[in-house]
Structure 1
Amino acid sequence: MAIFEGAGVAIITPFHTDGSIDYDKFGEVIEQQIANQTDAIIVCGTTGESATMTHEEHLDVIRYCVEKVAHRIPVVAGTGSNCTETAVYLSQEAEKIGADGLLVVTPYYNKATQNGLYQHFKMVADSVKLPILLYNVPSRTGTTLQPETIVRLCRDVENIVGVKDATGNISQTAHLMSIADGCVDLYSGEDAIIVPMLSLGAKGVISVLSNVAPQETHQICSLYFEGKVKESCELQLKAVPLVEALFCEVNPIPVKKAMQLKGMCTGTLRMPLTEMEEADAARLEREMKKFGVL
């Protein structure tokens, strides 16, 4: 059984203006997501700025999220690292905390061969019992997890169940699903192509857009699953200008600004991320208003 089906939010981490974690606002964001039909929460991923957190902060944020959600929907914890030992440690701790699944990114900067990637993910998976989603995001990591390696991992390792595909390469994704023979739970990592990914067999999306428009992102998936493909596609296309605005600068700069505009956080980012450019912020605000989320 898949960890979740539908729209999982790649949730932001709200900060106070001094850069410390604002747990009160984080709690509000979580409750708003659940109230608006989000199907899962993915915590401490790229959008959550986990790369700037200490290990203690990282685990505290996961713990808070798990306790706040209280089993109402699945919580998937980002526990990847470019150091295999660190990924093992974070994964084991997230399992103890009570996460429902793990999202583990390909090792970044030091990179690895496909065999090295296989060994990395297998070692992490062997250290825990939780279901694991691989996170394939070459634009961030400089490394592409090839379809054959994804299938090999999902077949060989019982608790590696699928992949968040943020390659944006539909042809590669189609190849993956053609050789997977049903062994890979696919999730779109790109908000602009949720419906195309669903048409290839995706279980849903791990979404930045869901921070701003949780109900609509859920509906893109639920309408598709109900067989209302035309309606799903119409909503997807309506969302494209907003999605483009949310990615006109490096994620999560725009989505943090969007959530500030909605009154859900201060908009504070941790360096090296910086304040959104004025013209881009104006564009984002316009698109939020057009889409009806502001």
Structure 2
Amino acid sequence: MKNINIEGIVAYIPTPFDKSDQISLKGLEILIDRLIKKGVDAISPLGSTGESAYLSLDEWKSVTQKTVEFTNKRVPVIVGASDMTTANCIEKAKYAQSVGADAIMVIPMIYWKLSEDDIFNHYKHISDAIDIPIVVYNNPSNSGFDMKPSFIARLFNEIENVKMVKDSTGDIQRVHEIRLLTEDKLPIYCGYDPIVVDMLISGASGWCTAAANIIPELNIDLYKAIKNKSLAQAYELFNKQYRFLKFIIEEGGLSKTVKSGLTFMGVNVGNPRLPISPLYQDKLNELKIIMTELNIVG
């Protein structure tokens, strides 16, 4: 099985749409190029930021193929391959592998309440169908299912291709428990921006963030400061970007906040796809103030 070692900033990219609500592949190229030139360590399309749940399968495939081809091995690509059914996830996972993705990320997408065994079997069937790493994504606020550290350790120990975990619970103790239960062999990535400093200090391998679309330098500098054990500098950098990080998470979802921020910067990514609505004017004003204070816009 192909394996990869990713440390640092994993940038989550939005899916750009044109005025007709069709995917703009040229816009996707612009986003990818910006991020790689800024120095991010990996690219991840088709997550929450990428509005994957609102794309058709053909659209999902076009974004996957374009991202892998245009990135052209400059950095690893982790493709979001989540779906409501195991069969659909497998189809996405196999396609991602066929076009050259380095890994896939999967969050359980639940309508009926599922048990741990249901979720385990879901990941097991996906793993059995591919030969690239799976990033287990735990975000109970979105999925409705909280994967406890003991369950994540079970996935890692019993499913061959489970090689990484992204945790967005906001619970710093999860890092310590997962590291202990997996003998520090399972890389953990911070998926909840407000506790990134604590997670990285506690041993997380990297930071999965949509903020890199707007403030990549601040994100990268913070990560480097922690790696260099310059904690005072890290906290200073974190405090500088905290208000922005908090805003993009709390004010209606990453796709609408990040797209609004990019629009302020002159990067045309279109609106979110319905039923997600664009930011209302009062929130746009607030975001512009925050970005002005960061010297991102004038």
Bucket of the pairwise TM-score, normalised by the shorter protein: over 0.9
**TM-score normalised per structure 2:** 0.95
In the other structure, the counterpart of 1:268 is: 271
Aligned length: 294
Aligned partners of 2:15 and 2:269 also within 8 Å: no
**Structure 1 residue 177: deviation in Å?**
2.6
- Give the Cα separation in 1 of the matches to 2:94 and 2:25: 23
State the one-letter code of the partner of 1:224.
Answer: I
Aligned partners of 2:189 and 2:204 also within 8 Å: yes
2:22 is the alignment partner of 1:20: yes
Aligned partners of 1:39 and 1:218 also within 8 Å: no
- Give the Cα separation in 2 of the matches to 1:216 and 1:2: 25
In the other structure, the counterpart of 1:163 is: 165
2:144 to 142, 145, 149: 142
CA deviation vs aligned residue, 1:207-248 (integer Å, no higher than 9, x gap): 011111112212211221122222122111211101122122
2:260 is the alignment partner of 1:283: no
Aligned-pair Cα RMSD in Å: 1.4
**Structure 1 residue 266: deviation in Å?**
4.0
Within a 5 Å distance, the mapping from 1:2-81 to structure 2 comes to 2-81=4-83
Structure 2's unaligned 5+ residue stretches are none
- Give the Cα separation in 2 of the matches to 1:282 and 1:76: 33
2:202 is the alignment partner of 1:200: yes
Change (3 A) 1:211 1:272: same
1:293 to 281, 286, 296: 296
In the other structure, the counterpart of 1:215 is: 217
1:178 to 172, 177, 180: 180
Aligned partners of 1:111 and 1:141 also within 8 Å: no
2:69 is the alignment partner of 1:105: no
- Give the Cα separation in 1 of the matches to 2:73 and 2:113: 35
**TM-score normalised per structure 1:** 0.96
Sequence identity (%): 27
Q: Which stretch of the first structure deviates more once superposed, 234-243 or 109-118?
A: 109-118
In the other structure, the counterpart of 1:129 is: 131
State the one-letter code of the partner of 1:291.
Answer: L
Q: Which stretch of the first structure deviates more once superposed, 186-195 or 109-118?
A: 109-118
- Give the Cα separation in 2 of the matches to 1:56 and 1:165: 29
Change (3 A) 1:189 1:96: same
